[in-house]
Chain A
């Protein structure tokens, strides 16, 4: 199984600012995913990030708001841009573990004031 870490674990930010969340995996993986979990809601896939190509965004999510980098096979970042209180959520990264399984990071709890 893969071990995934995320930084920061939590943050409180002001409206209009941006926050970059880091996701580090202890092994090389092809596919990484970013999810959002809004309060009281289920997890929603934001985008899929493959190394060497642009991220693929799900309906309702755009690159200008959630730019993603994937510089190598063990690391990815998600930026939440021009934040508003509606962006307050838990953001999780996951990786394709093969055999029909995804491994998830511990999440980043974001509060926007």
Chain B
């Protein structure tokens, strides 16, 4: 069975500092990997995803994540955070034929990123 571990439940950082949110997964088969973000009082939004190809994927707002198969990790990074990045971030995996499109998303417990001025 697949599982996802987000080791850090809360990450406080100062504005313009770099940040890394860690995600490790366990699976005996190939997986698709996702990061979702949930801003206060809003639904989850897809931030970025890895399906195949380049192991480094980027979002439009400066986040990036690198798929590391040997370490079974998919850590999320940003070189310089903004206050507007304050949110909860969820890592998820899927082994479906179409990634997360068949409801078989398995989520981590989430990491609350708090950016302070």
| Residues of B participating in the A interface, judged by any CB pair closer than 8 Å | 4, 9, 32, 36, 41-46, 49, 51, 90, 94, 98-110
| Chain B interface mostly | mixed
Residue of A nearest to B96 (CB): A100
Residue of A nearest to B109 (CB): A42
- The tally of CB-CB contacts under 8 A between chains A and B is 63
Interface pair A45/B44, CB less than 8 Å apart? no
Size bin of chain A's contact surface: 20 to 34
Pick from A40, A43, A48, A106: contact of B42, CB under 8 Å: A106
List, in ascending order, chain A residues with CB within 8 A of B103's CB.
31, 33, 45, 48, 96, 102
Apart from A100-B32, A102-B100, A104-B44: 16 A-B pairs, beta carbons within 8 A:
A31-B101, A42-B4, A43-B44, A43-B90, A43-B107, A45-B103, A45-B105, A96-B101, A96-B103, A97-B101, A99-B101, A100-B49, A100-B101, A102-B103, A104-B43, A105-B43
